Structure 1
Amino acid sequence: MQEVKKRIIQGVVVLVAIIYLAKLFYLQVIDEGYSEAAVDNAIEQVVQIPYRGQIYDRKGQLIVYNTPTYDIYVTPKKVKIQDTLRLCNLLGLSKFQFDSMFTIARTYSKFKPSLFMRQLSVEDFARVQDAMVDYPGFTFETNAFRTYNTTAMANTLGYVAEVSPKQLEEQEEAGEDYYRQGDYIGKSGLERFYEDILRGRRGVKYIMKDVHGVVKGPWKGGEMDVSPVAGKNLYTSIDLDLQQYADSLFVNKSGSMVAIDPATGEILAMVSSPSYDPKLLAGRNYSKNYARLALNPYNLLLNRALQGLYRPGSTFKTVETVVGLEEGAITPGTVLGHSGIRMNCHCGRSSSDLHTAIQRSCNPYFYHVFRRIIYHNDERDPFKASKVGLQKWSERVAKFGIGQKLGVDLPYEKKGLLPDVEYYNKRNKGEYSWKFSNIYSVGIGEGELLVTPLKLANVAAIIANRGWYIPPHIVRAIGSPKGEPLPEFKVKHSVDIEQRHFETLISAMYDAINSPVTVPARYVVRDIEACGKTGTSQNKKGQDDNSVFICFAPRNNPKIAIATVVDYGRWGGVTAAPISMLVAERYLKGYTTNKAAEAEMKAKYLLRLPNAPNSKPKPDTTKQQKPLVAAKKVTGPLVSHTKP
């Protein structure tokens, strides 16, 4: 019996030994995982961040490029520090800063590398590179920060910043793994819209190290390395010289100006004022500067060109004209009286024909036009007729891009508001609770109607083209100057209105400027054959109105269409119109002849806090005019516009 027990014990021992040997054979010979784990101890994987694509203007001038820097990443599990104080001194950190940064990295992941310190200059990298060999777990990655050749159009260009935790979560949910904690991503403007094109494709290289962390060379001669692919360059339609000139006219003013090439939909200039220097959101001080910008009461981060909502005022009479002609509500010879209407008239007459009404911006005339469109000469049931007429009218107007997104290649475009039947039903709490008398102000560009300066510029382009447009866009070529824009920016959109109706409108718009009635003669540049329409957009009681103007030039074969909105500029003819005329002349001629108007516009001080009552503006008394005056108790980075 004793012998049997002995044999059983021996058998168990032999069996266990066989199992261990088999497992060892499997790990070392059959299973590659153990081998790979051993390799991991000697091979370091280094991610290579590609350079973002550069951004150019239409003439090939470089606007945005990259300055090389180095980021330090840390993998907490691999970190071994003999002398923390020495490391802190090397990196220029306090012990508290080091502990905080390391805790953040460890919280993110003990095993994954995460950003520890960003944007070391080439000089700083050279100084610390050799010493960092003594600190395993810390690695360097080449990166770059965006550098700008202009202080202009910050909101159009946009900025890049560290990818947010929410974006990382969304990426993980989508099954992607491109971005890591600490990576940069486009946050606004062109940087955001074209992120996938600008970012390129990251690479990776494998480096052999000995047990002391000393680099021995590339693994397998570099045959496993993947080279990074730089992002594609963007070639924009922006004329940088024109942009900077337009910016200089908006010093100490708030508002926007958009200039478009009508034939292509290419945006030549896009002003949003006041703004900021784009350099402020590049580099280590991003967080501090962003906080100051966000708190600035002048809304510096708002791109007014596509996010500012304004009543179009009398500039909308251009749309009302061609819609009325197409609907048969009026003809070019229609004469309408002014009596009995509670609207101001700029004509000084008791009646007007269509040409005079456009030229002199007659409110009563367009009150009648809108009434005829809505009721279509049938007022037996004004509630029902208003519903039918407004539905047809809003469908016509929507084709001009009003009340919807135009699809510009920038994020955060606002639709604005085109009030329709559904809107008034909801607002008045009933299908038949409203009629023309409740909505008549919309017909002259007031009331609930809201547009962006971009939409007004597009309206000017539609008129210039006699009835069609290509969606406004900023990038004219991707990858090379001979590349193509995105496919959607080559498609024509018709507003389905006959060309002859636009010719009627254009004739009056030409006389409105060249036989000065609404635009003072001292601001008119006659030899560029501009056609335009002024507007005054109402503000709250106690505030000066906004100055609005749309135009295009020349009359035949137009090269530029412009919309300008100046907050608190009062009448369209005295602020927005001269700015637009100066910009049109500069683009068409390359120089300015009306130096007096230029000096007057640059010196004009209209900057006020948003939603504040009118106050007497205080002119800048410094030698060089500054674009902004900081509000009390609020400080923020303020940009000086580049002067041409």
Structure 2
Amino acid sequence: MNEQRPITIIIVIVLIGIVLLTKLFMIQVLDDSFLKRAERNAVQRLVDHPYRGLVYDRTGKILVYNNPIFDLMVIPKEFDVKDTTRFCEIFNIAKEDLIEKYTAARKYSSVKPSILIPQVSTTEFAKIQDYLIDYPGLFVTTRSVRSYPQASAANALGYIGEINARQLERDTVKYYRQGDFVGLSGLEGFYEKELRGLKGVKYKMVNVRGVDKGSFKDGDYDTASVAGRNLTSTIDLELQLYGEKLMEGKVGSVVAIEPKTGEILAMISAPTYDPNLLAGSKFGSNYGVLNKDEKMPLFNRPIMAMYPPGSIFKIVQSLIGLQMGILTPNTTYACNRSLVACHNHPSPVNLFGAIRNSCNPYYHQAYRAMINQEVSRNTFKDTEIGLDKWRESVLLFGLGSPLGIDMYNEKGGSIPSSSYYDRIYGVGRWKYSTIYSLSIGQGEMMVTPLQMANLAAIFANKGYYYQPHLIKAIDGDHTKIREEFRTRREVGVDAHHFDLIQDAMAEAIYGTAARAAIPDITIAGKTGTAQNPQGEDHSVFVAFAPKEDPKIAIAVYVENAGWGGRAAASTASLMIEKYIKREVERLGLEEYVIAGKFM
């Protein structure tokens, strides 16, 4: 029995040895996971950021391009600073910021690079490049920021900024990493996927001290970045710049559209700002200043500001009344000022005269005929039914909801329904006398300047429109723009009804907006004065031209500028002249608008 014990021990030792050798063989030969871990410790992964796509105006002029900048990177394990004060002076960084950035980098990884100082300009880089060799663990990577040669169309183009935690959570494909830059507003935000391109990756070998030992496996695993796609905007830069010049020192907006396509020719939000302020390392401080500015330059008025349409809406009322059969060209009402105030003009008037003279009592009576059609024995119920039927027609004109422009945060305005008044007054406790202000575009009705410009395009097209949009082509291909921007939308009014409307709008220029008349160009337009409880009324004007073959439709809002025939009509007229003739000959009118003394 004792003689067999050594044999048993030997067998056990041999079996254990076989197991260990088998395990070692599997680790070293069959399983490469440990090899990969070792390689990861010796390989640095560097992201090659692509250039964002460029943005051009409709004529090929550059609106947005890329300016190279540098990120100063740090590898915490290798980083060593003996004189912190001197380092902060050389690299223009506060000591507190240096400590904060270094601590965050070390928390992320002691051997992987992190951004220490982002967005170093070429000028700043020239000052620090000779010092980099003195600080182990520091190196630079190249990326780019946006630049704007004309400092124009800031609210339309938008800006880019560092991605935030919420956006990272929504990134289901995990394209972005902390520190990446994304489009945050305007075209930059809406077309982020097209503009951002594809990241590249480069792997390089480093020893335990972080010294560069060349490409990993001769660059077999490297991938090149792919630049973003270029966008051709619908904006006419020359017209955009001229509109911004006219609106300087004022509050309001101008939107000009090519009627036959829905392409936005100019979109001015006043006051505006230099988009270069929100590019580069000063983004945070500059954004804070702009955001606190009481004039709200970051507020995109063409798509976000909402106003009563005022008398402009009388054109829509006329068209709906004609389509319903409630109105005809010969429908005549007296200018009864006991119903609602009006200005001096001949009375009574037919529909043509009502448009030409902007007669408030006419539309008070016409709207009542549309709403109260005696389809119910109950007057309150009759008004409710009539209002909702009328509202369905109004919504077809692109009012009451966002039009769907290729920008985020577009507001839809408001066209009130019977349920709206039920909530305010109670069911069966309101009637026509409650809502009559809607007849002349006042009361609870609200629209955006973009919607008003789209109305002008509808009037020009005799009953249809294309969704207003800001991009004409992607990488030079016009078919790559979204299908909804190439889809014709009808408003449900027969084309022949627009003949009278267009004729009356052309005559209205000489009745309420004589300043807007242009020699050799027939303008069809309508003035408006939107009531403003907080101060002076807003000046409003919509128009299209030439009447015979419309090339431009436009809406102008100038806040607190009073009557629409002055500020808004004059501004729109100059914009039309600039676009069609490419130069402005009425220099006196131009001086009047630039001076801005409308009241």
> Which interval holds the TM-score relative to the shorter structure?
over 0.9
Match of 1:564, as an amino acid?
Answer: V
Identify which of 538, 549, 552 aligns with 2:544: 552
Counterparts in 2 of 1:560 and 1:340: CA distance versus 1, 3 Å = closer
Equivalent runs, 1:252-291 vs 2, <5 Å:
252-291=249-288
Map 1:154-193 → 2, pairs under 5 A: 154-171=154-171, 174=172, 176-193=173-190
Task: Pick closer, same or farther for the CA change 1:82–1:586 going to 2, 3 Å.
Answer: closer
* Amino acid of the structure 1 residue aligned with 2:70: Y
Q: Report the CA distance between 1:379 and its aligned residue.
A: 7.5
572, 576, 579: which one pairs with 2:568? Answer: 576
For residues 288-334 of structure 1, the C-alpha deviation after alignment (integer angstroms, 9 at most, x for no partner) is 11111111111111000000000000000010000010011110011
Structure 1 partner of 2:585 = 593
Q: Distance in 2 between matches of 1:124 and 1:211?
A: 31
Would the alpha carbon gap of residues 287 and 12 (structure 1) be closer, same or farther in structure 2, given more than 3 Å must change?
farther
Contact 1:235 1:481 in 2 (8 A): no
Contact 1:162/1:183, CA 8 A, preserved across alignment: yes
Pairing of 1:464-479 with structure 2 (within 5 A): 464-479=460-475
Structure 1 residue 100: Cα displacement: 1.1
- What is the one-letter code of the residue matched to 2:445? L
Q: For residue 119 of structure 1, what is the aligned residue in structure 2?
A: 119
The 5 A counterparts of 1:3-402 are: 16-74=16-74, 76=76, 78-81=77-80, 83=82, 85=84, 88=88, 91-107=91-107, 113-122=113-122, 125=125, 140-171=140-171, 174=172, 176-339=173-336, 341-376=338-373, 380-402=377-399
Partner secondary structure for residue 496 of structure 2: helix
Using CA pairs below 8 Å that are at least 6 residues apart, which structure has the higher relative contact order? 1
Per-residue deviation, 1:335: 0.6
Secondary structure of the residue that 2:98 maps to in structure 1? helix
Q: Which whole-Å CA distance do the structure 2 matches of 1:533 and 1:164 have between them? A: 45
- CA drift of 1:210 comes to 3.9
Equivalent residue number for residue 457 of structure 2: 461
After superposing the two structures, state which structure 1 stretch, 182-191 or 521-530, moved more.
Answer: 521-530
Describe the shift of the 1:585–1:113 C-alpha distance in structure 2 as closer, same or farther (beyond 3 A).
same
Counterpart CA distance in 1 for 2:461 and 2:313 is 17
Aligned partners of 2:75 and 2:110 also within 8 Å: yes
Q: Which 10-residue stretch deviates more, 65-74 or 574-583?
A: 65-74
Taking structure 1 as reference, are residues 598 and 340 closer, same or farther at Cα in structure 2, changes over 3 Å only? Answer: closer
Return the alpha-carbon distance in structure 2 between the equivalents of residues 435 and 190 of structure 1.
44
One-letter amino acid of the counterpart of residue 520, structure 2: D
For residues 267 and 319 of structure 1, the distance between their equivalents in structure 2, rounded to whole angstroms, comes to 22
User: Structure 1 residues 160 and 318, CA, compared in 2 at 3 Å: closer, same or farther?
Assistant: same
Instruction: Write the letter of the residue equivalent to 1:517.
Output: G
Deviates more, 1:417-426 or 1:337-346: 337-346
Contact 2:403 2:468 in 1 (8 A): yes
In 2, are the aligned partners of 1:538 and 1:546 still within 8 Å (CA)? yes
Residues 445, 584 of structure 1: alpha-carbon distance in 2 compared, 3 angstrom cutoff: same
* Displacement of 1:549: 0.3
Task: Supply the distance in 1 between the matched residues of 2:178 and 2:88 (Cα, whole angstroms).
Answer: 22
Give the Cα separation in 1 of the matches to 2:104 and 2:419: 51
Q: CA deviation at 1:73?
A: 3.8
* TM-score, with length taken from structure 2: 0.94
Change (3 A) 1:601 1:340: closer
Residues 538 and 73 from structure 1, CA distance in 2 versus in 1: closer, same or farther, beyond 3 angstroms? same
On the 8 A contact 1:523/1:597 being kept in 2, the answer is no
Seen in structure 2, the aligned counterparts of structure 1 residues 362 and 112 have a Cα distance that, compared at 3 Å, is farther
> Percent same amino acid among aligned pairs?
43
One-letter code aligned to 2:496: R
Distance 1:207 1:404, change over 3 A: same
Q: How far apart in 2 are the matches of 1:250 and 1:457?
A: 17
Please give the alpha-carbon distance, in whole angstroms, between the structure 2 residues aligned to 1:110 and 1:223: 26
Conserved 8 A contact 1:160-1:191: yes
Count of matched residue positions in the alignment of Structure 1 and Structure 2: 598
Distance 1:602 1:540, change over 3 A: same
* Most deviating of 332-341 and 55-64: 332-341
Deviations 1:95-154 (A, max 9, x none): 432111122334556676543321223465577668657767655432101000122221
Report if aligned partners of 2:235, 2:265 keep a CA contact under 8 Å in 1: yes
Amino acid at match of 1:507: D
CA distance in 1, matches of 2:107, 2:414: 46
CA deviation map 1:49-89 (0-9, x unaligned): 0000011001100010001112134465x555364637656
Q: Which moved more, 1:3-12 or 1:578-587?
A: 3-12
Change (3 A) 1:463 1:82: closer
Q: Does 1:527 align with 2:520?
A: yes
> 1:508 aligned to 2:504?
yes
- The residue number in structure 2 matching 1:562 is 554
Matches within 5 A, 1:400-411: 400-411=397-408
Task: Kindly provide the amino acid, as one letter, of the partner of residue 560 in structure 2.
Answer: Y
CA RMSD between the two structures: 2.4
What amino acid sits opposite 1:537 in the alignment? A
Amino acid at match of 1:179: Y
Where in structure 2 are there 5+ consecutive unaligned residues? Answer: none
Whole-angstrom distance in 2 between the partners of 1:5 and 1:421:
101
User: For residues 407-447 of structure 1, what are the alpha-carbon distances to aligned partners after superposition, in whole Å with 9 as ceiling and x for unaligned?
Assistant: 101111001101112212222232x2211111110110000
* Structure 1 position 20, deviation (Å): 3.9
Distance 1:194 1:466 in 2: 32
What SS does the corresponding residue of 1:533 show, helix, strand or coil?
strand
Compute the displacement of 1:344 (Å): 1.3
Aligned residue for 1:503, secondary structure, equals helix
